[in-house]
Chain A
Amino acid sequence: MNHVVKQLPAYHDGELGARAAQAVEAHLAQCEACRIELASLADLSTLLQVADPAPLGLSDDVFAAQVALRLPRDEVQTVSERTLAWSWRLAPVGIVVTWAFVQTTAIVALVVQLLMAAGMGNPALLALVASGPSLREPSANLANQLLGSVGLSDAWGTLQPVISSTWALLVPVLFSGLTAVAILSWVAVWWSSHLSSPVHSGQIG
């Protein structure tokens, strides 16, 4: 005979599904050992109730008043504080999206430059890219004008490739580093506040 000892606590607590409960009941009808086991569980539950609940020294109103007196005086967050809190929560998403956008833009720009340098690609598209507004164009024009004003207008032609390649290499690296620092700082702050929450401040072993 297969006893149902393992299912009995859940049956006793009313936690078994209807079908499982019926199977246990069918077994109990013909098994004295399991009936004694179930009766023992019920007996224990009854015995545990002998210990009275906590003797409440204060009325509910007095207790609530005492709690109210001990509550910190800080006001609950205002709407702007809540908006700030939500912005803080969404900050990592914003950082990652910005990082992905800048990286994608840099990669696309690099590919276009390589294609142009190799004389490849759709001439019409390359011409469009070449004639389109460039982020670096205003700064290049400004540098050219400044160097021209001090009599070094030819120097720009020599310096431009060096500056461009250094710039193209440094900016993504620096930007990735700053992004990583920002994300790690956010995680550190979040983790420290998470540990101080009441739900996680105690350990249930």
Chain B
Amino acid sequence: MTVSAAAVTDERLLIKRAQDGDRGAFADLVRQHRTGVVNVIYRMCGDAALAEDAAQECFIRAWEHLHRYRPRSAFRNWLYRIATNCALTELRRAKTEVDADDVQLRDERQGPEARLEQLERAAAVQSAVLSLPEASRSALVLREYEGLSYRDIAETLGIPVGTVMSRLNYARRLLRSALAEYMEVAS
């Protein structure tokens, strides 16, 4: 995931203005990172409505503690760390379970059988991801769905890179076992 230097500079300017109390600049940051934050929380908890609420809570916490953010780490990583914590807090509070009806189809042109099959696969994938231990799930979501590098995941979760690798390997091993029937290549 490459971020251009101009985009980074723009973001730093927005962060600086937001740190000085500019709510408009913070709203721009919210718009930029909203999709990523909602997705991280959604992948962690599997509930779209809950994810949207938790994402708002995440941005409010970010605003309240924005003066503590230092540009030596990526703003996205700092935000995703808050998002991960918000997701875990919501999970412990709600203990939600995956609802297959929430899983939306990507290609509406498919026939009913193919749609049903894809729906089933999507539900199985989501269920398998949600059944992972929280620590491994966080690493997997940030890698597979958000495309973060090992170093960024380590910074986001506050763990060493070696631990990121072992958590990812563990998550993938569990997923390959849980989703064996949906995989084309047998391991």
**Residues on A facing B (Cβ under 8 Å):** 9-10, 13, 15, 36-37, 39-45, 47-58, 60-61, 63-68, 70-72, 75-77, 197-199, 201-205
| 18 more A-B residue pairs beyond the given contacts A53-B145, A67-B59, with a C-beta to C-beta distance below 8 A | A9-B169, A15-B149, A36-B187, A40-B187, A44-B175, A52-B105, A53-B42, A55-B104, A57-B48, A57-B49, A63-B56, A67-B27, A68-B30, A72-B64, A77-B67, A198-B64, A199-B65, A199-B158
Complex CA–CA separation, A163 to B81 (angstroms): 61
Taking a contact as CB atoms under 8 Å apart, the answer to whether A48 and B23 are in contact is no
**Are A204 and B84 touching (Cβ within 8 A)?**
yes
B15 CB within 8 Å of chain A: no
* Chain A residue contacts of B176, Cβ below 8 A: 40, 44
Whether A50 contacts B121 in the complex (CB less than 8 A), given A57-B48, A197-B68, A202-B89, comes out as: yes
Q: Which residues of B contact A77 (CB under 8 A)?
A: 67
B85–A204 contact, CB under 8 A? yes
* Contact status B39-A202, CB under 8 Å: no
* Interface bits B133-157 vs A (CB < 8 Å: 1, else 0): 1110010000111000110000001
In which size bucket is the chain B interface?
35 or more
A143 to chain B, nearest CB (A): 52
**Alpha-carbon distance between A61 and B24 when the two chains are bound, in angstroms:** 12
In Å, the complex CA distance between A87 and B26 comes to 27
Which of A40, A41, A65 neighbours the largest number of chain B CB atoms within 10 Å of its CB? Answer: A40
* Stretch in contact with the other chain, from B5-13, B108-116, B177-185: B177-185
User: What residues of chain B lie closer than 8 Å to A204, measured between beta carbons?
Assistant: 84-85, 88, 134-135, 138, 157-159
B 34-53 contacts with A by CB, 8 A: 34-35, 38-39, 41-43, 48-49, 51-52
Looking at the assembled complex, report how far the CB atom of A177 sits from the nearest CB atom of chain B, in whole angstroms: 33
Using Cβ atoms and an 8 Å threshold, which residues of chain B touch A61?
31
Tell me if A198 and B172 are in contact (CB < 8 A). no
